[in-house]
Structure 1
């Protein structure tokens, strides 16, 4: 299984300076300036909503980029600035060092699809419709200090007398939910920043 790529940071727009315009991405309190090549690769690292909860690997990113970007150079730059991260089996370390930020508001479910929940903006429409697990992560993940706290919560809620779910197991489950939320533009990852 190949490593799953996640973009890290919150896009804050195109800014001008003496060096010319650059796209800025915030992690914690720090702003990172990206040229067009790095920014394009960072955007593609979000994945495609149609991919759902499936892993998004470097090969998928390269296939989408084609010849339009120098993905090798961009990935090196992005990794050096912690603007992308890869999860290759150790979901716990990833969950302990990252937190979730959200976009939009919850629009609820409908009588026609009671197990699907809409996320978007009232009056403007739905950005994504997700299942209850993804919605729960989106809804509560932004108030948890780390994704690991969300994993612990999911484990405690899904454990039963006859079946115990560990936070480590929940971390593996959350990766798919997170992929869907990030690819749909409903959430972003931020690094856990100590004071």
Structure 2
């Protein structure tokens, strides 16, 4: 059986474009990552980095891989998305991660999640589904309880590894829980597979752990 293609994850929080003059096109785009503010030097790079977040309509159903990202980037007019993606990978602004591997464990131990937007609670017309978004507007993300709890609590831990362990410990305290809900390894695997449902609507962003950020400062 062929190995699964790695998932593609963007790293950092978008700070927006920088215009050197009023009404001029952006000179570059800024990303906040750890203690750094790396720049995306052109539209193609900014577009591919943005597309690494996934697409809301397919997130959770279609794994967001290099193949899917490059297909979407080509459709958006990027002439050589694979080369652009390669440059972002080299700079550490995008990561390729295969859940369940040693590399995934290393990634999870050196990165953290930061939550954005607001929790809207269980949707009245969809029992068991929780919304994330902005007050007074339709939910941008509609997710199962496990994903909602990751969004709600995951940022309190310094790494994704510790977040998965903490969520597993919380689940184990419930009188009725599935075995996989209390297994940190399986929780991390689920988190990685679900991340694009949150990334694609900017409900979270991925950052370096503070320990890594401090070491690179």
Conserved? CA contact 2:105–2:161, under 8 Å: yes
Q: 1: CA distance between counterparts of 2:210 and 2:86?
A: 22
Q: 2: CA distance between counterparts of 1:106 and 1:161?
A: 23
1:163 deviates by: 4.3
Q: 2: CA distance between counterparts of 1:42 and 1:3?
A: 16
Q: Structure 1 regions of 5+ residues with no counterpart?
A: none
1:184 deviates by: 2.5
Q: 2: CA distance between counterparts of 1:52 and 1:109?
A: 20
1:172 deviates by: 0.9
Q: Given the alignment of the two structures, is residue 64 of structure 1 paired with residue 72 of structure 2, yes or no?
A: yes
Q: Greater strand percent: which structure? A: 1
Q: 1: CA distance between counterparts of 2:178 and 2:135?
A: 42
Matching residue of 1:80: 90
1:17 deviates by: 4.8
User: How big is each residue's C-alpha offset from its partner over 1:72-99, in whole Å with a ceiling of 9 and x where there is no partner?
Assistant: 2211221122110011233321211111
Q: 2: CA distance between counterparts of 1:133 and 1:126?
A: 17
1:114-133 pair list within 5 angstroms:
114-133=127-146
Q: Provide the TM-score with structure 2 as the length reference.
A: 0.81
1:149 deviates by: 1.2
Matching residue of 2:37: 31
RMSD: 2.2
Q: Given the alignment of the two structures, is residue 192 of structure 1 paired with residue 209 of structure 2, yes or no?
A: yes
**What stretches of structure 1 move > 6 A for 4+ residues in a row?**
none
Q: 2: CA distance between counterparts of 1:125 and 1:102?
A: 18
Q: 2: CA distance between counterparts of 1:50 and 1:111?
A: 21
Q: 1: CA distance between counterparts of 2:192 and 2:9?
A: 10
User: How big is each residue's C-alpha offset from its partner over 1:109-157, in whole Å with a ceiling of 9 and x where there is no partner?
Assistant: 1343231111111124421111101101100012211111111023223
User: How big is each residue's C-alpha offset from its partner over 1:13-51, in whole Å with a ceiling of 9 and x where there is no partner?
Assistant: 111359x71111110121111121111111111111122
Conserved? CA contact 1:9–1:189, under 8 Å: yes
| Residue 26 to residue 133, structure 1, CA distance change in 2 (3 Å) | same
1:161 deviates by: 9.8
Aligned pairs, how many?
194
Q: 2: CA distance between counterparts of 1:43 and 1:162?
A: 35
Task: Find the residue that maps to 2:188 and give its secondary structure.
Answer: helix
Q: Structure 2 regions of 5+ residues with no counterpart?
A: none
Q: 2: CA distance between counterparts of 1:31 and 1:161?
A: 42
